[in-house]
């Protein structure tokens, strides 16, 4: 699906204090700590805390580091889920990668490689599963034919409603991501 609408500008001094990742049911607290010339992210998995260390917390630099961290987190959690779901349902998939795509939730190549958007971290678990199923069905049907939609409905009977919900899901993604 394509992204609609222009992003709302942020206040120049805005830095997030927490990151809610509904797809994987995580809430991360963010602390901005004094540090050296490079900005580093310190992760405490047990406490779901991120510490950003830097001498200056320039908004765009912080956002870039947080996007990098989000991509890494999505790779750690969503990629194994995609492989697990594929195995569980009998789909053949090769590589699964995470990207920060502007206009698509995911894609599937003819070589059965999936590319998933890191922004999927901000959708619901059910929406994430729908996108994974959608892309996995493309490993069998590389189009949006009636056969494709029929296959998808075999695995997700509510696929039409979920497809509509994904058009609105872009609103849940923070503007800076």
Q: What is the pLDDT of residue 12?
A: 62
CA torsion sign for 88, 90, 96, 100 is negative
Give the tens place of pLDDT for each residue, 108-151.
999 999 999 999 999 999 999 999 999 999 999 999 999 999 99
Q: What is the pLDDT of residue 55?
A: 75
The answer to whether residue 7 scores a pLDDT higher than 90 is no
Coil/strand/helix, residue 53: strand
Q: What is the pLDDT of residue 39?
A: 80
Q: What is the pLDDT of residue 140?
A: 97
Give the tens place of pLDDT for each residue, 94-113.
999 999 999 999 999 999 99
Read off the tokens for 60. 């765009």
For 71, 97, 130, the CA distances from 112, given in Å and listed in that order, are 21, 12, 17
DSSP string, 125-154: HHHHHHHHHHHHHHTT-SS-SHHHHHHHHH
Q: Give the separation between CA 44 and CA 42, rounded to whole angstroms.
A: 7
Give the tens place of pLDDT for each residue, 36-76.
777 888 888 788 899 988 777 788 888 999 999 999 999 99
For 42, 102, 111, 127, 137, the CA distances from 8, given in Å and listed in that order, are 29, 15, 38, 24, 34
What is the percent of the chain with per-residue pLDDT over 70, rounded to a whole number? Answer: 93
Binned at pLDDT 50, 70 and 90, residue 2 comes out as: very low
């Amino acid at each position: 699906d394509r992204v609609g609408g222009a992003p709302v500008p942020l206040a120049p001094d805005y830095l997030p204090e927490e990151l809610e990742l509904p797809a994987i049911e995580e809430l991360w607290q963010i602390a901005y700590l004094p540090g050296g010339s490079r900005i580093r992210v310190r992760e405490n998995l047990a406490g779901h805390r991120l510490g950003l260390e830097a001498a200056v917390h320039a908004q765009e630099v912080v956002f870039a580091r947080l996007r990098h961290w989000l991509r890494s987190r999505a790779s750690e959690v969503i990629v194994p889920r995609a492989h697990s779901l594929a195995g569980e349902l009998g789909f053949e998939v090769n590589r699964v990668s995470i990207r920060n795509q502007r206009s698509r939730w995911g894609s599937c190549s003819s070589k059965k490689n999936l590319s998933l958007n890191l922004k999927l971290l901000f959708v619901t678990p059910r929406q994430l599963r729908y996108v994974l199923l959608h892309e996995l069905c493309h490993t069998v049907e590389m189009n949006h034919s009636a056969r494709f939609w029929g296959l998808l409905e075999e695995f997700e009977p509510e696929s039409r409603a979920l497809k509509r919900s994904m058009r609105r899901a872009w609103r849940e993604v923070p503007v800076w991501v």
